[in-house]
Amino acid sequence: MILIIRGPETYLSQKRIKELVEKAKEEKKEIKFFDLKEENDFLLIKREFFNIGFFNQKKLFILENASSNKKFQEDFQKEIESFASSPNLIVFYEKEENGSLSKAIEKKAKKEYYDFLTKKETEKWLSRIEKEKNFVFEKGAKEKLIELLGNNLWLIEKEIEKLLTLEEKRISLLSIKKLISPQLTINIFNTLEMLAQKKKKEALLMIKKHLEKDSPQYLLSMFVYQLREMLILKNLLEKTRNFSFLQKKLKKPYFLIQKTLNCLRFFKKEELENLYQKLYLLDFKIRKGEIPPELALFFFLNSI
């Protein structure tokens, strides 16, 4: 079986990948990840996917970034019927907004697309988080959280975790007003602007302040998130500069889109793509345990 998972909302798509992995672990399946920006051995993947082990163990293979590897797609197409009819699951995980797979793969695969959430959808998502984490939002708290943080699910989840350490089982409107502001997102933009202008001393001071509150891995994830947002907006600007259309498409508060636009003035598209690629590879290595987050952050900052 073949499944394609894609879409701009990486929080939801990565959660879906996590769910597939957890289910596979429960069912004692063999699980393997391949980043096709770094790996291109189709024959190895094919051999391992169809190899029947001693216990006839089922398999879950997750292939990231296949859209950037045309040679792999060409080889895969030739064997697509075998992959599609297999009881094993192969997942194409595409984080890139413009990443496209061949028509043959698209035709044979099941597809799941994760878009940015609207305000109403974000409210429903928060209700699910409320049940999952077994706590209650006081009246008006949910709406205030969305007003301050928009639909940045990564940031919302992090802030909810912080609030629950202070108010177990309950999140009040007052605590949100006191403890949460959109300042973190704005500071990430400001840090990126300083790095783009080669003001490393000022940027490092801001990063030091961030690290007093958050971990290096969380800070890296915020950089990844914001760079990705900037690339998506940059691509949209090539089609239109109608602000109402941009706001409708991105489903973001006015101030966040405006701040993103301001930050884009300091970056060429090629620079953004290069930075995002560097961060993505560092994040991949962190998840594989090949590099600690502190060192990854150091490498990123010194590469700019």
Question: Which CATH architecture describes the domain 119-179?
Answer: Orthogonal Bundle (1.10)
At 129 the pLDDT is 94
Local confidence band at 97 (pLDDT 50, 70, 90 cut-offs): low
Local confidence band at 54 (pLDDT 50, 70, 90 cut-offs): low
> In whole numbers, what is the pLDDT of the chain averaged over residues?
85
Q: Give the residue-averaged pLDDT of 86-106.
A: 85
Which residues of the chain are in CATH 1.10.8 domains? 119-179
At 63 the pLDDT is 93
Nearest to 220 by CA among 304, 298, 135: 298
At 102 the pLDDT is 87
For the domain with range 2-113, which CATH number is right: 3.40.50.11260, 3.40.720.10, 3.40.30.110, 3.40.50.300?
A: 3.40.50.300
At 125 the pLDDT is 96
Residues 6 or more apart whose CB falls under 8 angstroms from that of 205 comprise none
pLDDT digits (tens, 9 = 90+) for 127-181: 999 999 999 999 999 999 988 888 888 889 888 988 888 877 899 998 888 877 6
At 185 the pLDDT is 65
207 pLDDT more than 90: no
Question: Which CATH architecture describes the domain 183-302?
Answer: Up-down Bundle (1.20)
Nearest to 222 by CA among 183, 180, 264, 267: 183
Local confidence band at 88 (pLDDT 50, 70, 90 cut-offs): very high
99 pLDDT more than 70: no
pLDDT digits (tens, 9 = 90+) for 23-36: 999 999 999 999 88
Local confidence band at 91 (pLDDT 50, 70, 90 cut-offs): very high
Which residues of the chain are in CATH 1.20.272.10 domains? 183-302
Which residues of the chain are in CATH 3.40.50.300 domains? 2-113
Q: Which residue has the higher pLDDT, 62 or 285?
A: 62
